[in-house]
Structure 1
Amino acid sequence: MSDLPSDRYQGSAWTHGPLIVGVPWEPPRRLVARAAELADGLDVHLVCAFVDPSGYLAEFDAARTRTAGSIDPQPNRESLFPAAEVRSALQAVLGTPGETWSLRVLNGSVPEALARLADSTGAAAIVVGGPRYGARASFSRLLERSVSARLVRIQRRPVIVVPGLPRESRF
């Protein structure tokens, strides 16, 4: 590659930032393990991102700059349940979060949330699982495109798709 002009790669999205892996509620071991191996090989931090599609981001303002609060004074403990389950599943494969990996919980459309996170962290790449198998998954793809297909269209950085296995074992 030394014979290629260096200006050809200026503006490239590849950085030495963290590696983002989008994880579903029941993260497949294969996806998590492959993402961890890649992050280790690149010597970068692994950010596991769980996106709750039932909640949407209403604003980007930091909490300290907001002038209004929730009308419900009680915290929504139920909304923390999926994140706790995901964290437990990830810890079974990756160990305790810390220097090598962390978990981020996001809301909204999965591809857009992963893209925002990648942009805000200067991520090197995004890793996602390939399309699921089965009749239910096929019907779901008729209604909404796969996360990997949408990410490839909206993201300038590399998107790495880890293929799944039919009836892949979950945690």
Structure 2
Amino acid sequence: METPGDFEQGGAGQWPDGPLVLGVPWEFEEQLVRTAAGLAAILGAHLICAFVDPASYLTEWEPAGVLDATSLDPAPNVEAEYPSSQVLSGLERILGPPGGAWSFRVLNGDVAHALGRLAQSADAAALIVGGQRPGRIARMGRLLEGSVGVSLTRLQARPVLIVPHAGR
């Protein structure tokens, strides 16, 4: 008979091997990154910080195995082409330079699908994303685009950790 508090039943008491994937928005809170980095350190896992570029999409109608990123803007705009450099600078201020403990990836396409693809290809143990942003503009965005956290829980079976915003 199983006793209360017998946690061995959930995966033989083992956390799955693999890195943690952190979805990093353009403007992120330090708490999100520190929470993910702390969990990665406790688990002895590599942290993959992933930014999904909003100015591009994947041409998923191409033949299988070919996922080419294409800009939504027909005229190249060098300043707006890679907001990821700002994201990387913010991450480096908190985590130091990328290396053994963490790495940075830039993805294209729908945020939830892109993070799910990365988690699958990296055989990630879990995904981490920020909770819903407060405010009217954020609420309007969720109405139009949906919640990344909710979409992730529907798209794949990996655990999804949603870190609430500091103001909540």
Q: CA separation of 1:38/1:85 partners in 2, compared to 1, >3 Å: closer, same or farther?
A: same
* Alignment map for 1:1-171 (pairs within 5 Å): 1=6, 4=9, 9=11, 15-58=16-59, 60-61=65-66, 77-78=78-79, 80-166=81-167
Gaps of 5+ in 2: 1-5, 69-75
What TM-score, normalized to structure 2?
0.80
User: Which residue identity is paired with 1:47?
Assistant: I
Q: Secondary structure at the match of 1:96?
A: coil
Deviations 1:34-81 (A, max 9, x none): 000000000010000000133112254389xxxxxxxxxxx9744553
Matched-pair contact (CA < 8 Å) for 1:15–1:122: no
Q: Distance in 2 between matches of 1:152 and 1:44?
A: 21
Deviations 1:64-112 (A, max 9, x none): xxxxxxxxxxx97445531111110000000010000000000010000
1:120 Cα offset (Å): 0.1
Q: CA separation of 1:142/1:47 partners in 2, compared to 1, >3 Å: closer, same or farther?
A: same
Q: Distance in 2 between matches of 1:131 and 1:62?
A: 29
Q: Secondary structure at the match of 1:56?
A: strand
Q: How many aligned positions are there?
A: 150
Matched-pair contact (CA < 8 Å) for 2:53–2:82: no
Q: Tell me the residue number matched to 1:70.
A: none
Q: CA RMSD in A?
A: 2.4
Q: Distance in 2 between matches of 1:136 and 1:2?
A: 42
Identity over aligned pairs, percent: 50
Q: Distance in 1 between matches of 2:90 and 2:81?
A: 15
Gaps of 5+ in 1: 64-74
What TM-score, normalized to structure 1?
0.79
Q: Tell me the residue number matched to 1:66.
A: none
User: Which residue identity is paired with 1:153?
Assistant: R
Moved more, 86-95 or 142-151: 142-151
Structure 1's consecutive aligned runs of 4 or more residues displaced over 2 angstroms after TM superposition are: 1-4, 58-63, 75-81
1:2 Cα offset (Å): 7.4
